[in-house]
Amino acid sequence: MTIDTEKKKKGEKRRILTALGFGFFIDSAEDQALPMLFPAIRTALGLDYAALSIIFNIRVIFQTFSGPLWGMAADRFSRKWILVIGTGLWGIWTMGTGLVTNYHQLLVVRVIACLGLGCLYPASFSMLADVFGPKHRGRAMGTISAIGMFGIVIGAFAFGELVGASGDGWRWAFILLGAASILSGVLIAILIKDPVRGSAEPELENLITEKKAEQFRFKLEDVKEVLRSKTVWVNFLQGVFLITPINALSAFFVTWLVDDRGIPESEAPLIFGGIVISLAIGSFVGGIVADWADGHWPNRGRVVVSQISTVLAFIPLYIMLTQKLELILIILVASIAGFFLDWTRRGVKQPLVQNVIRPELRATAMALTEFFQGAIASIVIILFGNFAVAQGLSQTLLILVCGFWAIAFLVAFLYYKVYPPEALKLRNEMSRRRDLILD
Q: Locate all alpha helices (DSSP H) within 166-229, ordered by sequence.
A: 169-191, 210-213, 223-228
**Which 8-state DSSP code applies to residue 134?**
G
The total number of residues written for the chain in this structure? 439
Mean pLDDT, range 91-100, rounded to an integer = 85
* Predicted pLDDT of residue 6: 66
> CB 364: neighbour CB atoms within 10 A?
29
Average pLDDT taken over every residue of the chain: 83
* Predicted pLDDT of residue 395: 80
382 sits in which H/E element: helix 362-391
Q: What is the DSSP track for 410-425?
A: HHGGGHHHHHHHHHHH
Highest mean pLDDT among 52-56, 244-248, 386-390: 244-248
Compute the half-sphere exposure of residue 63: CA atoms within 13 Å on the CB side of its CA. 27
Percentage of the chain modeled with pLDDT above 90: 16
* Predicted pLDDT of residue 213: 81
Cα–Cα distances in angstroms (integers) from residue 388 to residues 198, 324, 436, in the given order: 47, 18, 58
Contacts of 98 (CB under 8 A, 6+ apart): 170, 171, 172, 173, 174, 175, 178
pLDDT reading at 148 higher than 90: no
Angle at 50 between CA 383 and CA 324, to 5 degrees: 90
| Strand ranges inside 130-173, DSSP E | none
> What is the Cα–Cα distance from 313 to 396, expressed in whole angstroms?
18
pLDDT reading at 1 higher than 80: no
Diameter of the chain by CA atoms? 70
pLDDT reading at 390 higher than 80: no
Contacts of 196 (CB under 8 A, 6+ apart): 130, 208, 209, 210, 213
More confident residue, 64 or 376: 376
Compute the half-sphere exposure of residue 118: CA atoms within 13 Å on the CB side of its CA. 30
**Which 8-state DSSP code applies to residue 196?**
P
* Predicted pLDDT of residue 4: 59
146 sits in which H/E element: helix 137-165
Angle at 220 between CA 216 and CA 224, to 5 degrees: 95
> What is the Cα–Cα distance from 84 to 183, expressed in whole angstroms?
10
CA nearest to 405, candidates 307, 285, 260: 307
pLDDT reading at 389 higher than 70: no
Mean pLDDT, range 227-254, rounded to an integer = 86
What confidence category does residue 340 fall into, taking pLDDT thresholds of 50, 70 and 90?
very high
Question: Which tens digit of pLDDT belongs to each residue from 268-280?
Answer: 777 777 777 888 8
* Predicted pLDDT of residue 422: 95
> What is the Cα–Cα distance from 45 to 3, expressed in whole angstroms?
60
More confident residue, 387 or 369: 369
Mean pLDDT, range 87-107, rounded to an integer = 84
Whole-angstrom Cα Rg for the chain: 21
> What is the Cα–Cα distance from 365 to 125, expressed in whole angstroms?
10
193, burial (CB in 10 Å: exposed 0-12, middle 13-18, buried 19+)? exposed
> What is the Cα–Cα distance from 398 to 386, expressed in whole angstroms?
15
Q: What is the DSSP track for 289-333?
A: HHHHHHHHSTTTHHHHHHHHHHHHHHHHHHHHHHS---HHHHHHH
> CB 107: neighbour CB atoms within 10 A?
16
Q: Contact 302/290 with Cβ under 8 angstroms? A: yes
Q: Contact 22/75 with Cβ under 8 angstroms? A: no
Mean pLDDT, range 64-93, rounded to an integer = 83
* Predicted pLDDT of residue 302: 93
> CB 387: neighbour CB atoms within 10 A?
18
* Predicted pLDDT of residue 195: 86
CA nearest to 213, candidates 126, 341, 304, 315: 126
What confidence category does residue 231 fall into, taking pLDDT thresholds of 50, 70 and 90?
very high
- All domains in the chain, ordered by first residue: 12-196+224-438 (1.20.1250.20)
Question: Which tens digit of pLDDT belongs to each residue from 248-260?
Answer: 887 778 788 887 7
> What is the Cα–Cα distance from 40 to 47, expressed in whole angstroms?
10
**Which 8-state DSSP code applies to residue 348?**
I
Dihedral angle of Cα 333, 339, 340, 341, to the nearest 10 degrees: 80
At position 60, the amino acid (one-letter code) is V
Question: Which tens digit of pLDDT belongs to each residue from 161-182?
Answer: 777 666 778 888 888 888 888 8
* Predicted pLDDT of residue 414: 96
Question: Which tens digit of pLDDT belongs to each residue from 26-57?
Answer: 887 877 777 778 778 888 888 777 777 777 76
Phi, psi (deg, nearest 5) at residue 160: -60, -40
Specify the pTM: 0.78
